């Protein structure tokens, strides 16, 4: 395949950055999007240029490390797919493709297509866990979990923390990410004792990190490579409200 790429190049956080055009003419339709960028980078190196920096690790759609806004859409045009699982056969021969980093106030650009998503870790630090010190756990069968709850918890827990929801949201909100964790833990009996504090402190951290508020535009769920639904945001809001109204807030 022949392609024209317009790639965001930015040498560092203080650089202004801009789009640079590259031509590729021998791309296999079986290559993944990242493999296509590998080919571009090999070419840049051979021509004495600087390869494009981008984040990736598992290349299996599960680690959440890859990002990239492709033709204006986080993770590109295919639904429920990460960039590393997007294959070139989904593009047309001769297509012009724009490649940009995640854009959000809370995700500053580090270099080229690489952004800093550590705010997500800080949200989890503020309550996204169940307190269960090692070695003191009861026998696993002591507390049965109804299958529908376990399945729903699992589906929310599938969030890979990639940040596409934030990049897609006009407000730069991380409500989908947050809602997914609240839902995962809140659906399990083990997660009940800390449920209310968790909602409050995680949402406080979220706001403090510079993520915007949720106005239910739904772009997040469309961009989510794991198909996490808007219902998790409903649950987040519900838990937060109950926690505040019921005086359960710390």
Partner 1 sequence: MNDELYDIGDPVVDGKVPAGPIEDRWTTRKFEAKQINPANKRKKKIIIIGTGLAGGSAGATLGEAGYHVQQFCFQDSPRRAHSIAAQGGINAAKNYRNDGDSVYRLFYETVKGGDFRSRESNVYRLADISRNIIDQCVAQGVPFAREYGGLLDNRSFGGTQVSRTFYARGQTGQQLLLGAYQALMRQVEMGNVELFPRHEMLDLIMEDGRARGVVVRNLINGEVKNYTADAVVLASGGYGNVYFLSTNAMGSNVTASWRAHRHGALFANPCYTQIHPTCIPVSGDHQSKLTLMSESLRNDGRVWVPKKGGDDRRPADIPEDERDYYLERIYPSFGNLVPRDIASRAAKNVCDEGRGVGPGGLGVYLDFADAIGRLGRDKVEAKYGNLFEMYERITGENPYDTPMRIYPAVHYTMGGLWVDYDLESTVPGLFVIGEANFSDHGANRLGASALMQGLADGYFVLPATINDYIARNALPPVADTAIAEAEERVNGRIDKLLSIDGDRSVDSFHRELGHIMWEYCGMERTEEGLRKALELIPALREEFWTRVKVTGKGEELNQQLEKAGRVADFLELGELMVIDALHRSESCGGHFRAESQDDEGEAKRDDDAFGYVAAWGWQGEGARPVLRKETLNFEYVKPTQRSYK
Partner from ligand FES, partner 1, none contacting 14, C-beta within 5 to 8 A by type: none
For the CB of residue 30, give the shortest distance to ligand FES in the complex, in Å. Answer: 17
Q: Which is nearer to partner 1, 188 or 222 (CB)?
A: 188
Q: Which is nearer to partner 1, 131 or 170 (CB)?
A: 131
Place of tokens 């890979």: 160
Site map for partner 1, 88-127, x if CB under 8 A?
-x--------------------xx--x-xxx-xx--xxx-
Residue of 6, 59, 111, 242 interacting with ligand FES (CB under 6 A)? 59
**61: alpha, beta or left? (left if phi > 0; alpha if psi -120 to 50):** left
Asked if 153 is part of the footprint of partner 1 (rule: CB under 8 A), the reply reads: yes
List the beta strands (DSSP E) in 46-130. 69-70, 73-74, 96-100, 109-111, 114-115
Half-sphere exposure of 174 (CA within 13 A, CB side): 33
Other Cβ atoms within 10 Å of 155 Cβ, number: 19
Partner from ligand FES, partner 1, none contacting 121, C-beta within 5 to 8 A by type: partner 1
Footprint of ligand FES on residues 75-94 (CB under 6 A)?
Answer: 82-84
Residue of 16, 21, 46, 245 interacting with partner 1 (CB under 8 A)? 46
Considering only CA atoms, which of 124, 156, 166, 148 is closest in space to residue 227? 156
For the CB of residue 75, give the shortest distance to ligand FES in the complex, in Å. Answer: 9
Considering only CA atoms, which of 131, 108, 106 is closest in space to residue 205? 106
Burial class (CB in 10 A: 0-12, 13-18, 19+), 114: middle
Binding site for ligand FES (CB under 6 A): 56-59, 61-66, 82-84
């Amino acid at each position: 395949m022949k392609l024209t790429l317009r790639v965001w190049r930015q040498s560092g956080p203080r650089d202004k950055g801009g789009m640079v055009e590259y031509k590729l003419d021998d791309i296999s339709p079986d290559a993944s999007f990242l493999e296509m960028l590998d080919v571009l980078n090999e070419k840049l190196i051979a021509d004495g240029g600087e390869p494009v920096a981008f984040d990736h690790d598992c290349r299996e759609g599960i680690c959440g490390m890859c990002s990239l806004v492709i033709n204006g859409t986080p993770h590109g045009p295919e639904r429920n797919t990460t960039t590393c699982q997007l294959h070139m056969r989904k593009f047309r021969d001769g297509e012009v493709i724009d490649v940009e980093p995640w854009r959000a106030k809370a995700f500053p650009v580090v270099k080229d297509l690489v952004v800093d998503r550590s705010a997500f870790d800080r949200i989890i630090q503020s309550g996204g866990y169940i307190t269960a010190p090692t070695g003191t756990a009861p026998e696993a069968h002591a507390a049965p979990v109804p299958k529908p709850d376990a399945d729903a918890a699992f589906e929310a827990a599938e969030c890979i923390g990639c940040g596409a929801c934030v990049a897609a949201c006009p407000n730069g909100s991380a409500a989908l990410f947050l809602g997914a964790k609240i839902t995962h833990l809140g659906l399990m009996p083990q997660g009940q004792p800390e449920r209310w504090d968790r909602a409050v402190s995680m949402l406080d951290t979220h706001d403090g990190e510079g993520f915007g508020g949720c106005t239910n535009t739904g772009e997040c769920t469309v961009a989510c490579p794991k198909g996490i639904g808007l219902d998790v945001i409903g649950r987040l809001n519900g838990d937060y409200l109950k926690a505040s109204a019921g005086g359960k807030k710390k």
